[in-house]
Amino acid sequence: MIRDIYSKLPILPIVAFVSGFSLMTFELAAARVLAPSVGSSTYVWTSVIGVIIAALSLGYWAGGKMADARNRATDIAWLCLAIAAAITLTLLNYQNLIDSTVQSIEDARLQGVFASLMLFAPASFLIGALSPYLVKLKVTSLATSGQSFASLSALESIGGITGTFVTGFILFGYIGAREAFAVVAFLLIAISWLITPTRRWQLRLVVSLIIAFLCLGTLQIVNKGHIDTASAHYSIFDRVLDGQPVRGIATGPNGTQSGIYINDPNKLVFWYTQRMVEVVAQAPKHDRILVLGGGAFTLPQYLATTYPDSTIDVVEIDPKLADIARQYFYYKDPKNVNMIFEDARTYINKSQQKYDAILVDVYSDSSVPFSLTTKEYGQQIERLLADKGIVIVNMIAGPYGPCGELLNVLDAPYRQSMTYARYKTQRVGSVKSNIIVTYSKRPIQWTESFPLNIHTAVTYTDNYAPVERIQQNCQNSV
């Protein structure tokens, strides 16, 4: 009975589909594991995608040579097990290798390329080798060779599409990147047993069990303080700051995006949040406030408590951050806070609401969304301002050199629409630090300003905004 069912299964098409699914899940998880240490910029994605494509290409070549020389169905099973083993080795070693890479290489681009070569190229090479082997076994006649190749290629592509959507929309909402690696490894182990399951089954069983044991053993190592969502990887940590215990959250290798004093969660920890609320307090009006970037929702909660009669809209792309804020950062869901889970640029493009104060906290030390650095963005943000409204922006840049160029790029979209600006820097004379800038269409005489080397910069557009290059130049100069 089982043998009859097995004989009717479309084995090679199933393997083709699973290989495509596995490749895209592996690729998405690969970028995710680099984020906490290397970052999640375009440079990181470029490194991951480029290395994987290069490894696949070599795999296609090697797999074709091997298939012509051997042409054995059992080799497919061993290739599937080899891919599972390579992914398991990635799972076992990625953290130590990434840590050592970051310590020995300063440039984020080289960090991404080197880490991707060491961690993701071997499994990608083997996945590439699988494809021509499947075609070799599928082709039984020259008259149908084109159709055989096309059908397997289509199934690999469908598997890749399925893996992309399932991983991005579903898996990362429930499991982390490590678990995603394990899912792929177990899927490949299972699919290997569809290929001539009775041949050398004892050895294959031993190899399968070893890989499965290593996967499960690695997953048992508690990864405290790391949370994966569909949008990002978050690191949550406790440390002592100025003699007080602080809990912070970070999405990349540089800096902390949000934090609280554990013993006094209602008190703002960081200079930039303290400065932003000081400006709000001095502003002409603050009945309606917009906050772009939720973080751990410490800033919205402070504003909601301080101004109970105000309405505060918070735009945050990741809905899971609200749960993280409740669990780790004592967020209490104030009644006058409206959570809007959407991309910041998407929201301001379509919103018709007017705001007395707009607080922008979306620029991190390792990631600057290009869509929030353009002329079109500046026009849209100005459109949302009430008559006497202000925009308060937290930037991470510097007064001169490459970081000065970054400051000008971040500043230009606001100044093109809002003539008046006041600047306050955290560390005078520092190459790079937090800079709080207040913009308005009317003169600002109620807040102090520190003179910075701001000149008329090129205002980039939605078509062209090379902020990754400019930010990398700033980072390299520090």
List the domain boundaries for the chain: 2-223, 258-477
Write out pLDDT tens, residues 155-182. Answer: 999 999 999 999 988 888 788 888 899 9
Pairing status of strand 337-341 against strand 355-360: unpaired
Alpha carbon 261 to chain centroid, angstroms? 27
> CA-to-CA distance for 349 and 423, rounded, in angstroms?
26
What are the residue ranges in the chain where pLDDT is below 70?
Answer: 1-9, 140-144, 221-225, 230, 252-255, 365-366, 429, 452-453, 455-457
At residue 288, φ and ψ (nearest 5 deg) are: -130, 120
pLDDT value for 7:
42
pLDDT value for 444:
86
Alpha carbon 112 to chain centroid, angstroms? 13
CATH 3.40.50.150 is held by the domain 258-477: yes
- Token code pair at residue 108: 């984020």
pLDDT value for 344:
93
What type of residue is 423?
Answer: Y
| Model confidence, pTM | 0.82
Measure Cα distances from 458 to 3, 33, 392, 396, 406 in Å. 70, 35, 21, 19, 11
pLDDT value for 252:
67
> CA-to-CA distance for 183 and 22, rounded, in angstroms?
9
Helix, strand, coil abundance in the chain, percent, nearest 5: 55, 15, 30
Write out pLDDT tens, residues 114-123. Answer: 999 999 999 9
2-223 and 258-477: identical CATH topology: no
What is the longest distance spanned by two Cα atoms in the chain? 86
Pairing status of strand 355-360 against strand 288-292: parallel
Q: Is 294 helix (H, G, I), strand (E, B) or coil?
A: coil
Judge whether 393 and 382 are in contact, CB under 8 Å.
no
Rg of the chain over Cα atoms, rounded to whole angstroms, equals: 26
Write out pLDDT tens, residues 400-441. Answer: 888 888 999 999 999 988 989 999 988 776 788 899 999 999
What type of residue is 197?
Answer: P
222 Rama sector, left if φ>0, alpha if ψ -120 to 50, beta otherwise: beta
What type of residue is 355?
Answer: Y
Residue reference for tokens 């991707």: 116
* 2-223 fold: Growth Hormone; Chain: A; (1.20.1250)
Judge whether 440 and 413 are in contact, CB under 8 Å.
no
> CA-to-CA distance for 224 and 71, rounded, in angstroms?
47
pLDDT value for 8:
47
Measure Cα distances from 295 to 246, 339, 363 in Å. 15, 12, 12
Cβ-Cβ contacts under 8 Å for 180 (sequence gap 6 or more): 25, 26, 28, 29, 32, 167, 171, 172
